[in-house]
Amino acid sequence: MMKVTLPKLKIKKGTEKISMVTCYDASFARLVEKAGIDSILVGDSLGMVICGEENTLKVSTEEVAYHVKAVRKGAANPFLIADMPFGSYQDSVETGVKNAVALIKAGAEAVKIEGGSEVCPLISKLVSFGIPVVAHVGLTPQYVHKFGGFAKRGKSEEERRFIMDSALEVEKAGADMIVLEGIPETLASEITKKVKIPTIGIGAGTGTDGQVLVIYDLLGMNADFNPAFLKKYADLDSVVTEALKEYKKDVAEN
């Protein structure tokens, strides 16, 4: 696999779909690279997937940096993006720059920031310093208490306008890509056509420039997690459980 860079991803817009996977460790990162996936996101979803929390809000910059280092050791070639966790940039632009720099030093090649106009000053400052930014609009998990959960966004005309305006604003601020999460397919397609930067969808239909899924989800490692948008490409919940049962049996009998 050849090294994937930001310019290589950006020229794919409108011509070739971008594949992105969220993972958190060197072992899975090695397999992601082996499969030829374009990009890896070290998401603050690690709070839920790895640590068992109800949401992403307790994750720290140090925790994301730890997992970035692990993923980078497992995969050198996919373009590596790190989430800016809750609390790492809300205080001030200066705080956001400091934490983004820490994630880049850990091995990330871009940082992802949730929000619209409220994060545009930070986006502009980061890109002026040469730090690529992936924006994130629509269902933004760090706003879980405001939304009252993880329900799909953009159902009302007012919300649709807000999400569209947010996408246009973060692009104008200098974002290099946008994650569109949990919004209607028609809205995601409309945003994709209007912006000049790649869009990456999750629960936003197939009209985006690429897709991202958490590796644990796409491998079917949790039989109880079945959102409508998720296609499971394996059933590791059953495979791993049966393997462990077989191991237990061998231990007991030998």
The set of catalytic residues is: 181
Both tokens of 234, joined, read 């394996």
Closest of 229, 228, 180, 184 to residue 208, by C-alpha: 180
* Stretch (H or E) spanning 41: strand 39-42
Beta bridge partners of residue 20, listed in sequence order: 39, 212
Q: Which long-range contacts (CB under 8 A, 24 or more apart) does 45-51 make?
A: 45/83, 45/141, 45/214, 47/85, 49/24, 49/214, 49/216, 50/24
Question: What are phi and psi for residue 83, nearest 5 degrees?
Answer: -70, 140
Q: What is the DSSP string of 81-136?
A: EEE--TTSSSS-HHHHHHHHHHHHHHT-SEEEEE-SGGGHHHHHHHHHTT--EEEE
Residue type, 199: T
CB count in 10 Å sphere of residue 97: 17
Q: Which two tokens stand for residue 219?
A: 């491998």
